């Protein structure tokens, strides 16, 4: 990748997405900071150095996605960072609505944004897609921890679906580098547990930036931890 590269980071006005955008800009990448709230996006961009532009982007709104794709035009790197936890319950205690709201952002939103930006990414000589997943989306890891009681089923299963989607995009786009990353528990406002976590979101962002700037012979279709190790599917 070169310093002339252009990136879009969704949900980048706070948390891990903020640091991904900040670190990419610091490395000379032109960054489009995706934010549902343009004012919050502008406030976040003001804390960054380099070339950073705010793009109003709601991953649940087809019109917003289309407008963002038109504004961006050219793109080398897409980081699908926006995600939510709508319900922390096990399946018997959850609802269809909670699952639907979670999947709308964590899976369907990724599909919608990625497909809208594919024409621009296909024009790039070095297209990269990074999907921010979670180690809780590892089916192998979940099977090894039955003591969880199936809690967080909506979120965890949505990340498992995102991992599958990552693999399928990599298979469909062999000239791209498409990977998923588990950031670890970080201090963000994702939920109450994350709000009190010790993990630095900037540390996780470094891992995402590494995947965003992979060389052309780098891995694709993988599920990676923030530290570069492989996470089991």
198 CB neighbour count, 10 Å cutoff: 7
Consecutive H or E run containing 34: strand 30-35
What is the number of other CB atoms lying within 10 angstroms of the CB of residue 200? 14
Q: Is 116 in contact with 41 (CB distance < 8 Å)? A: no
Told to judge if 155 belongs to the known catalytic residues of this protein, a careful annotator would answer: yes
Q: Determine which one of 32, 103, 155, 169 is catalytic.
A: 155
User: Length of the chain, please?
Assistant: 233
What is the chain's alpha carbon radius of gyration, rounded to the nearest angstrom? 16
Give the 3-state secondary structure of residue 33.
strand
Measured CA to CA, the distance from residue 121 to residue 185 in angstroms comes to: 30
Residue 195: how many other CB atoms lie within 10 Å: 10
Q: Provide the annotated active-site residues.
A: 155
């Amino acid at each position: 990748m070169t310093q002339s590269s252009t990136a879009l980071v969704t949900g980048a006005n706070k948390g891990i997405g903020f640091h991904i955008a900040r670190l990419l800009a610091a490395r000379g990448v032109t960054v489009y900071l995706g934010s549902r709230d343009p004012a919050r996006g502008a406030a976040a961009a003001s804390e960054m150095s380099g070339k950073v532009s705010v793009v109003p982007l709601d991953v649940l709104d087809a019109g917003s996605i289309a407008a963002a794709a038109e504004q961006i035009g050219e793109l080398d790197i897409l980081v699908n960072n926006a995600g939510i936890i709508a319900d922390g319950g096990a399946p018997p205690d959850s609802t269809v609505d909670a699952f639907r709201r979670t999947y709308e952002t964590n899976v369907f939103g990724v599909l919608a944004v990625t497909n809208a930006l594919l024409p621009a990414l296909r024009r790039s000589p070095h297209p990269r897609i990074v999907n921010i997943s979670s180690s809780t989306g590892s089916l192998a890891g979940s099977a090894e921890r039955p003591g969880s009681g199936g809690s967080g089923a909506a979120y965890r299963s949505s990340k498992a679906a995102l991992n599958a989607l990552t693999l399928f995009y990599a298979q469909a786009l062999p000239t791209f580098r498409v990977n998923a990353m588990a950031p670890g528990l970080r201090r963000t406002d994702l939920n109450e547990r994350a709000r009190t976590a010790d993990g630095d979101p900037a540390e996780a962002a470094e891992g995402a930036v590494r995947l965003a700037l992979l060389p052309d012979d780098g891995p694709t279709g993988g599920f990676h931890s923030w530290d570069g190790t492989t996470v089991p599917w």
